[in-house]
Amino acid sequence: MVSIARELSTWRVDVVTADGIEHEMDVALNGRRLVSEPRVEADDVEDRGEQQQVAQAARLGHLAAVRAALANTPGQVVDLELSSDDGRMEWEVQLIDDQQLQRSITVDSVSGDVLHNELDD
């Protein structure tokens, strides 16, 4: 998985398969069923080499990244994305903290260290 974002009534999930192709799907908020069939867009097929490198570079999975972010700042996760920042793979975790403020927490995808914790505007 390379990203997950909470929509109004579903989670939008992007998964990169071993061949580097990104598949987008909607999952019920309880995580128990697919609401839509996986979709592949034309530009996702064109980006397969880049997507494959991104997925392979992350040693820390999405669940461990969420655990690290929540250990740093308790709250409710609303968005999670794996991306590259100056060649460093990072998980960007957006959450609503206990004071109902939205925060962006950056977790290193190799070490699991929290690199940044910022209040969103």
pLDDT per position as a tens digit, 70-120? 999 999 999 999 888 787 889 999 999 999 999 999 999 989 999 999 998
User: Does residue 102 sit in helix, strand or coil?
Assistant: strand
pTM given for the model = 0.80
The rounded distance, in Å, linking the Cα atoms of 7 and 111 is 29
State residue 13's pLDDT score.
93
Instruction: List beta partners, residue 32.
Output: none
Alpha-carbon span 6 to 24, nearest angstrom:
13
**Chain segment 3-53, per-residue pLDDT in tens:** 889 999 999 999 888 788 888 999 999 989 999 999 998 776 677 777 777
Domains (range + CATH), the chain: 3-57 (no CATH), 62-119 (3.10.450.40)
Question: What does residue 2 show for φ and ψ, rounded to 5 degrees?
Answer: -115, -15
CA separation for the pair 45, 28 (Å, rounded): 26
